Structure 1
Amino acid sequence: MSTFMTVQEAADELKVSRWMIYQLIWANEVRSVTVGRCRRIVRKSFEDYVSDLIEVA
């Protein structure tokens, strides 16, 4: 498993739009990095966010 995932991969996993993933990035809910012109989400940060969602539910 890689350290990073694309915005589209994160959106597909949560079954939400890419726009929603960008909102999570801007709200500092998930961490991301820019590689050239591409935005990549730190997989560990994404997994932690999903775990928190499950705990709150």
Structure 2
Amino acid sequence: MDDGGSTGSTALLLDIEEAGERLGISRSQMFRVLGAGQLRSVKIGRLRRIPVAALREYVAQLEAQAADDASIPRRPERPTVAERNSGSRFAKRGTP
């Protein structure tokens, strides 16, 4: 039976650490995400809480962004140093 505590899996609001655990990121990264305005939060007195619904929205936003990024054509990869030097005077040449 749920005691209504914030640590229950049915809690509607999570503290920073709990929200980070659910996302699989650190407390510091959670503060970066919040500071950048990428994730909604609410204040209750002096406490900062993350609505579970906001976590779902954030993950959906990340998934949509990943799908958009996958559709953007990538520029060709840069040649490696060895490939760039293969025609230079420093490249090893076969013996005559």
The alpha carbon displacement at 1:56 in A equals 3.3
Structure richer in helix, relative to its length: 1
1:38 to 47, 50, 58: 47
* Greater RCO (Cα-Cα under 8 Å, separation 6 or more): 1
Paired residues for 1:1-57 under 5 Å: 1-57=10-66
Q: Percent identity?
A: 32
Under a length normalisation based on structure 1, what TM-score does the superposition of the two structures give?
0.77
Partner of 1:30, secondary structure, is coil
TM superposition outliers: structure 1 runs of 4+ over 6 Å: none
Q: Which has the larger radius of gyration?
A: 2
How far apart, CA to CA, are the structure 1 residues paired with 2:12 and 2:23? 18
Superposition TM-score, scaled by structure 2 size: 0.51
> Structure 2, unaligned stretches of length 5 or more?
1-9, 67-96
CA distance in structure 2 between the aligned counterparts of 1:56 and 1:2, rounded to whole angstroms: 28
Query: Comparing both structures, which one devotes a greater share of its residues to strand?
Result: 1
Deviations 1:10-37 (A, max 9, x none): 1111221111111111111111112122
